[in-house]
């Protein structure tokens, strides 16, 4: 049995190629916890109402677990936690919603599920059925925009002061590289800089796994038996796949390059001025930088295809009713 290089006791489950050491699940958990808690310590403030965007996938499940551990270990911070799943209405999501509920229950964290169909009036599965094969966008493109808007609106209406997401190091390096390749400085700054006041109606985000490799997350979830869905979304498409491949190839050539890239992107973004003028969408009232937000632009595009009017404010009635009960 290949023993852990750190504790010398347990079987090694993960090799860090930049340092060359192999470690066991317990030592990997300690290392990941240290990195995640550093982010939480720096970015949470006492009394925060923390909504964890919890899909039930491996990343958000680990983010929930580590945030819960942090809250329990820091009672003086008086943090309140809530796990929220946006169910996009795909067969892929069904399994993960059940796992999200299970983990939240095991951790003693309140959990709520809101369906995208309820909030936006359409599900991604419906889109997948009805989008013509040669349609200009994939369901993945619509899903990303609609899900992000729904999560922010839910957080705001349910009274959260901050949203924790499961974005990992790989996600952030890919997003930063995509922003750079599009020349989108505002998006680069928004991705990498944590700011408490980002504009009326926008809830700040914290990414505790931002210095954790996706591979470390997957290894921990399997080795520790953390309830989480490990499948990959069948709708994943687009520019990200190509960028991911290039970044992964670079990491194989130069181990540690993802960490260095994220640190460098963050330094660059700190010196940049984001020119973002937030306003309210003329149609739905959600925060946006344009007159009509991207979600409404997309829903306008889909209304004719689905033969019904989707362009209206989000339905957040149930979220508002939950506001008074979920924080305990």
Among 241, 278, 305, 325, binds other proteins (CB under 8 A): 241
Question: Of the two residues 149 and 219, which places its CB atom closer to other proteins in the complex?
Answer: 219
- The answer to whether the CB of 99 falls within 8 A of the CB of 228 is yes
Residues in the interface with other proteins (CB under 8 A) total 30
Among 110, 137, 148, 215, binds other proteins (CB under 8 A): 215
Segment 246-265, which members bind other proteins (CB under 8 A)?
248, 251-252
Question: Of the two residues 15 and 315, which places its CB atom closer to other proteins in the complex?
Answer: 15
Q: Roughly how many angstroms between the first and final C-alpha of the chain, as a whole number?
A: 47
Least distance from other proteins to the Cβ atom of residue 222, Å: 5
Question: Of the two residues 237 and 290, which places its CB atom closer to other proteins in the complex?
Answer: 237
Least distance from other proteins to the Cβ atom of residue 230, Å: 6
Question: Of the two residues 106 and 246, which places its CB atom closer to other proteins in the complex?
Answer: 246
What is the distance between the alpha carbons of residues 167 and 297, in angstroms, rounded to a whole number?
26
Among 54, 111, 147, 244, binds other proteins (CB under 8 A): 244
62 touching other proteins, by CB under 8 A: no
**Encoded tokens for 9:** 């006791």
Among 77, 218, 259, 306, binds other proteins (CB under 8 A): 218
Question: Of the two residues 24 and 202, which places its CB atom closer to other proteins in the complex?
Answer: 24
Among 6, 77, 185, 223, binds other proteins (CB under 8 A): 223
Distance (Å) of CA 26 to CA 5, 34, 38, 57, 223: 12, 12, 18, 21, 9
Least distance from other proteins to the Cβ atom of residue 25, Å: 8
Among 108, 133, 183, 232, binds other proteins (CB under 8 A): 232
Interface mask toward other proteins for 90-129; x: CB under 8 A: ----------------------------------------
C-alpha R_g of the chain: 20
What is the distance between the alpha carbons of residues 268 and 262, in angstroms, rounded to a whole number?
10
Among 222, 268, 274, 306, binds other proteins (CB under 8 A): 222
Q: Which stretch binds other proteins (CB under 8 A): 117-125, 141-149, 151-159, 213-221?
A: 213-221
Interface mask toward other proteins for 4-43; x: CB under 8 A: -------xxxxx-x----xx-x------------------
Residues of this chain that bind other proteins (CB under 8 A): 1-2, 11-15, 17, 22-23, 25, 58, 170, 214-215, 218-219, 222-223, 230-233, 236, 241, 244-245, 248, 251-252
């Amino acid at each position: 049995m290949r023993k852990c290089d750190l504790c010398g006791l347990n079987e090694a489950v993960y090799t860090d190629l930049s340092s060359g050491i192999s470690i066991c699940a317990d030592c990997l958990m300690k290392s990941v916890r240290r990195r995640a808690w550093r982010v939480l310590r720096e970015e949470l403030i006492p009394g925060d109402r923390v909504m964890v965007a919890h899909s039930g996938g491996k990343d958000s499940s680990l983010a929930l677990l580590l945030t819960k551990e942090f809250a329990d270990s820091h009672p003086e911070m008086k943090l309140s936690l809530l796990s929220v799943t946006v169910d996009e209405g795909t067969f892929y999501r069904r399994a993960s919603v059940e796992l999200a509920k299970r983990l939240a229950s095991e951790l003693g964290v309140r959990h709520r599920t809101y369906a995208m169909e309820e909030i936006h009036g359409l599900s991604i599965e419906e889109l997948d059925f009805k989008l013509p094969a040669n349609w200009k966008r994939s369901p993945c493109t619509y899903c990303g925009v609609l899900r992000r808007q729904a999560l922010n609106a839910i957080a705001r209406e349910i009274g959260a002061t901050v949203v924790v997401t499961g974005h990992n190091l790989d996600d952030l390096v890919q997003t930063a590289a995509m922003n750079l390749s599009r020349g989108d400085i505002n998006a680069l700054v928004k991705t990498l800089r944590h700011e408490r006041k980002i504009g009326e109606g926008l809830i700040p985000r914290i990414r505790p796994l931002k210095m954790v490799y996706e591979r470390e997350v997957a290894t921990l979830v399997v080795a520790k038996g953390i309830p989480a869905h490990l499948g990959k979304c069948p709708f994943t498409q687009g520019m990200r796949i190509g960028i991911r491949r290039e970044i992964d190839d670079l990491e194989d050539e130069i181990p540690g390059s993802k960490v260095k890239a994220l640190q460098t992107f963050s330094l660059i973004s700190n010196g940049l001025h984001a020119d973002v003028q937030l306003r309210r969408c003329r149609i739905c009232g959600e925060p946006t930088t344009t007159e009509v937000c991207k979600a409404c632009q997309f829903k306008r595009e889909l209304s004719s295809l689905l033969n019904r009017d989707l362009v209206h404010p989000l339905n957040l009635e149930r979220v508002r009713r939950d506001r008074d009960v979920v924080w305990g």
